[in-house]
Chain A
């Protein structure tokens, strides 16, 4: 399947965590590179979205929007740096 990028997850992360994901910087646990999460490769299906590193393709995280809650897994990131807006 064709991927999109982290720009497409802005709405999902705004709802779940109240953060602007596109200008949030994350460091990949797989290869150590840091980048705006707008640049992450994102695979969206009806079940949810998987974020992968654009450099090494490691899974950075998963976000699943349910009816009553949103599941967020960011276990492939060492950290995220969220700008104060």
Chain B
């Protein structure tokens, strides 16, 4: 558990950038003063224009643990103030201001004694903090059973496709909402309450549940989970607004 980290501003340098999808970039930043972060935490990136105008946005971290390298995946929001710059312009070697690590609610901490399984449910780019949790679980020999249900438009929009396929301690199920993989068993379509019930731990196992995605997705899923008998206090949510 990362305990003694006081939140502050840091300077991060872009070590690498690569397109994760056609409209999202994976950025690795070297942040020499970063104290490490729990899985699921986020940071704020602040951009300053020549005139002094500043804009900041929150981004979930795909990485966790005691490292001074952090990884995030930024989805471009057309017309946005910050994400188009990060996705299209910010180059390797350039510096950005980051504040963090932020958030202690939507985090999974491996050392916690855990009897019940952990269910992760992602909508679109909401998979980033949940991937971080699954990766942290991957580093532990013993621990809770993990499942990830990932709702995404099409195979082209999938984040961490290679890494998800390699997870050995998390059972991954992907629901394509618009376009399926070639030869996929089921046609594309939005997640329904029945599909959710069929692809997640049942309420009888009292799983801890983390849901992250667009606000409409999170609220639909959280509502269904309660209808399916899950304890609302076991459900942790993070909403990031509009679609994607």
Q: Which A residues lie at the B interface, using CB under 8 A?
A: 2-8, 10-11, 14-15, 20, 22-23, 36, 38-39, 67, 85
Contact = CB atoms under 8 A, between A and B. Distances in A.
Interface string B203-244: 000000000001110000000000000000000111111100
Contact of B99 (A5, A8, A15, A67): A15
Given A2-B242, A4-B241, A11 B102 contact: yes
Q: What's the dominant secondary structure at chain A's contact region?
A: helix
B190 interface: no
Contacts of B242: 2
Nearest to B9: A15
Contacts of B214: 2
A10 B239 CA distance: 13
B237 A39 contact: yes
Interface in B29-87: 42-44, 52, 56, 58
B57 to A, nearest CB: 9
21 contacts: A2-B214, A2-B241, A4-B215, A4-B241, A5-B215, A7-B106, A7-B238, A7-B239, A8-B58, A8-B240, A10-B42, A10-B103, A11-B56, A11-B100, A14-B7, A20-B7, A22-B104, A22-B105, A36-B105, A38-B103, A85-B104
B3 A22 contact: no
B3 A7 contact: no
Given A11-B44, A20-B104, A38-B236, 8 more contacts: A2-B242, A4-B239, A5-B237, A7-B106, A10-B103, A14-B7, A22-B104, A38-B237
B239 A23 contact: no
Given A3-B215, A22-B105, A22-B106, A11 B3 contact: no
A4 B240 contact: yes
A11 B7 contact: yes
Contacts of A85: 3, 104
Interface residues of B, number: 25
A5 to B, nearest CB: 5
A5 B103 contact: no
A23 B105 contact: yes
Interface in B97-132: 99-100, 102-106
Contacts of B105: 6-7, 22-23, 36, 38
A59 B215 CA distance: 19
Given A5-B237, A5-B238, A10 B3 contact: no
- Residue of A20, A36, A38 contacting most chain B CB atoms (<10 Å): A38
A38 B106 CA distance: 8
Contacts of B216: 2
A2 B215 contact: yes
- Residue of B58, B105, B240 contacting most chain A CB atoms (<10 Å): B105
Nearest to A38: B105
The 4 closest A-B pairs by CB, nearest first: A38-B105, A22-B105, A10-B102, A11-B44
Nearest to B107: A22
Contacts of B7: 10-11, 14-15, 20
